[in-house]
Structure 1
Amino acid sequence: MNAVDEIRGAAIGTAPVPLSVLDLVTVGSGRTASDALRTSVDIARLAESRGYHRHWVAEHHSMPGVASSSPAVILAHLAAHTERIRLGSGGVMLPNHAPLVIAEQFGTLEALAPGRVDLGLGRAPGTDGATAAALRRSDTLHEGADDFPQQLAELIRFLDDDFPHGHPYSRIHAVPGPVQATSPGGVQSPARPPVWLLGSSGFSARLAGTLGLPFAFAHHFSAQNTLPALDLYRQSFRPSAVLDAPYALIGVSALAADDEREARRQVLTGALSMVRLRTGRPGLIPTPKEAEEYAFGPMEREFVDGWLKNVIHGTPDAVRAGLDDLHKRTGADELMITANAHGGDVRLRSYELIADAYGLPA
């Protein structure tokens, strides 16, 4: 399997493009992180059995309701409980980490799950400024984002083990990695995880296009920027050893339930959670009852109404229609669905109903 094959997936059933899963490992009120991680395993197994193409987890910090602060650890756990589905980060926030550390972590994941690991990279901190400073042990928070292209180039050099002779890092090797295949008696495959760039604006879109890398856009929280970013990516694209044509994935919030009212009840929990996060009160994902009884102020109600416009929810047929429309409007090559709700059973049911609506294999 070559690099292009590892990135591109085949549409199955009646889905217009491959469908994938973005898992935030959300923790609901009255639940624990252990519960959330067990749900992640259940979702990955379901996604694998129903023909979803990938299962990615996202790096977030200092958010009680999101237990995905360590993507590499979670992915290793998911790799042990799945066999075929691609696993990856959506994403690892590169400025928070030394490139060599990421290369080692994802080289280890590739050794655990050969040929099915993706390395998605973001340039945001995945948290607030104070937490980012604690992660980076530095007060220069903007330095990491500004240095992103240089950090990316260094990371790719470590992954490929190809620093030029004379470079300060030319004798440093990310292990597991290609150096093992070139060592005396080495038999390890030199393959490495494909690198994706993630973004919610134009910076990473342009960089991904210029480098000929696949691009994942966060439509689920930056819908107004989706079309401009995708246009910029496609216009900037230059063929590479990785891709001969652009490949754009978009993350989309979608939740299906057996009836419209129940879907609305469930997505309101995610909306209230976002209200609290945006107003400096992050917490666990509230229950549907708590969300229904919450007295939204005028500005909060305006935010919720705007937020829910970008969450595709309802019956399975309604969600399918919404996803199909989004695909037509964006021309995305893949749709990565995130289902945010209080209960893990609700999220599992949603992915199952969406698979049914598209005739994915049971």
Structure 2
Amino acid sequence: MTTTVPLSILDLAPVVSGGTPAQALRETIATARHAERLGYHRYWLAEHHFARGVASAAPPVLIALVAAATERIRVGSGAVQTGHWTPVAIVEQFGTVDALHPGRVDLGLGRSGQRRAELAARAQRAGTAPPPPEERVVDGLLIPKPFDFSVLAGSPLLRAYGELLQQPGAETPDFADIVDDIAGLLAGTYRTPDGLPLHAVPGEGAGVELWILGSSGGQSAQVAGERGLPFAANYHVAPSAVLDAVNAYREAFKPSATLDEPYVVVSADVVVADDDAAARELAAAYPLWVRSIRSGEGAIPFPTADEVARHPWTDADRDLVADRVATQFTGAPGTVAERLDTLRRVTGADELLVTTITHDHAARLRSFELLAAEWGLSSP
């Protein structure tokens, strides 16, 4: 398959069972170099905290390390959790990276998952939550039943995480205001409520590309569209809402100095191997890893096959991960490329963002290599 749609990578710097964060970070840098050689367009780093199985806790630092280890590939965040940072801190951090690696830095912004869980729980308590839609297939693309994020709202661990990630008594501003402040600081047009100009150095005038990431048709998609910014929709995190997200973004879109028309990236979780059976074997630990996230304990180190075999699965466990497992694209290169092309076609994506986790690092590199060849990427 040869396509003109770019392919990019989202990396969590996964820590595997028996591994260390230092190993995970070294492997992330090696993977980024590999991705650049293969012709991937972007290399984005996620932001996760208090997760034993994820080493990507400080995206600006890791992005700087990846940028220094590569030459051409765009590097960025997928996404900075804005509830944990002030706008000026975000702009200064990314402005610092851009000062040394100009024209290569993407600043992806998102709302924190904690807020999403709280909003879902609030709607459920108020009786305003709509009944969940049933699983359906849209022109070949599976749209599963949605995951109920309200089940995470009562997690003591998540509550403790939220408290530690903010200063005592701090309140997160509205997401639209955060985006506007960041855009103003980058452009040099920021003013305090009293009209006092403030300048972020480094940051002001940086050639940072501003993105919004979202998992629903809610505020993130609306903000991205109204401000004419590029938008990334998360099929790999919330597959049930991907069409709502991209449609809401396009409906809200207004041309801007950044974009004349909407630009959409859609993510997918993939594992590619030489044949379908080998890919399924590599992906066998994925459900247990997702379960650790969905249960509120935080991502565990990516399990071995033996650890998966020992886990006593329950029906509740299977329900917890069903949508993520059903929408992971696993298989031989042609199998996965065909499913990715369906995702592109149904969502109208201008670019696809793939994330891959396997216990064996060599298998992960091989997965990206096989997919690049099948997708028709060309080395720079």
What is the TM-score with the length of structure 1 in the denominator?
Answer: 0.88
Does 2:111 align with 1:123?
yes
Distance 1:221 1:343 in 2: 23
| Residue aligned with 1:136, SS | coil
- 1:86-119 CA distances to partner (integer Å, 9 max, x unpaired)? 0000011112111111110010010121100000
Does 2:154 align with 1:137?
no
Amino acid at match of 1:340: I
Does 2:344 align with 1:327?
yes
Task: Report the CA distance shift for 1:297/1:332 in structure 2 as closer, same or farther (over 3 A).
Answer: same
Distance 1:92 1:261 in 2: 36
Distance 1:47 1:197 in 2: 23
Distance 2:323 2:175 in 1: 31
Does 2:283 align with 1:267?
yes
The residue that corresponds to 1:281 in the other structure is 297
Distance 2:290 2:328 in 1: 13
Does 2:35 align with 1:20?
no
Does 2:206 align with 1:176?
no
Q: What pairs up with 1:75-154 in 2 under 5 angstroms?
A: 75-125=63-113, 128-138=158-168, 143-144=171-172, 147-154=174-181
Does 2:43 align with 1:55?
yes
**Shift in Å at residue 133 of structure 1?**
1.6
Distance 2:231 2:323 in 1: 26
Larger mean CA deviation between 287-296 and 45-54 belongs to: 287-296
**Alpha-carbon contact 2:158-2:296 (below 8 Å) kept:** no
Larger mean CA deviation between 308-317 and 283-292 belongs to: 283-292
Distance 1:38 1:241 in 2: 38
**Shift in Å at residue 125 of structure 1?**
4.8
**Shift in Å at residue 139 of structure 1?**
5.6
What is the TM-score with the length of structure 2 in the denominator?
Answer: 0.84
**Alpha-carbon contact 1:122-1:198 (below 8 Å) kept:** yes
Distance 1:62 1:165 in 2: 34
- 1:259-310 CA distances to partner (integer Å, 9 max, x unpaired)? 2222112222122011122223332111123223423112223344432111
**Shift in Å at residue 361 of structure 1?**
2.5
Does 2:313 align with 1:302?
no
Distance 1:241 1:350 in 2: 37
Distance 1:230 1:198 in 2: 11
- 1:124-159 CA distances to partner (integer Å, 9 max, x unpaired)? 15792321221112466xx52x61111221111111
Query: What are the ranges of 5 or more consecutive residues in structure 2 without an aligned counterpart?
Result: 115-156
| Residue aligned with 1:286, SS | coil
Distance 1:14 1:135 in 2: 44
Q: Following TM superposition, where does structure 1 have runs of at least 4 consecutive aligned residues deviating by more than 6 angstroms?
A: none
Distance 2:365 2:110 in 1: 27
**Shift in Å at residue 194 of structure 1?**
1.3
The residue that corresponds to 2:215 in the other structure is 200
Q: Percent identity?
A: 42
Which of 266, 270, 276 is the matching residue for 1:250? 266
- 1:211-250 CA distances to partner (integer Å, 9 max, x unpaired)? 1000011110111100111111111100000000000101
Task: Report the CA distance shift for 1:36/1:163 in structure 2 as closer, same or farther (over 3 A).
Answer: same
The residue that corresponds to 2:354 in the other structure is 337
Which of 27, 45, 52 is the matching residue for 1:39? 27
- 1:189-222 CA distances to partner (integer Å, 9 max, x unpaired)? x342011011111221111101100001111011
**Alpha-carbon contact 1:220-1:311 (below 8 Å) kept:** yes
Distance 1:265 1:138 in 2: 46
Number of residue equivalences: 335
The residue that corresponds to 2:125 in the other structure is none
Task: Report the CA distance shift for 1:241/1:300 in structure 2 as closer, same or farther (over 3 A).
Answer: same
Does 2:91 align with 1:65?
no
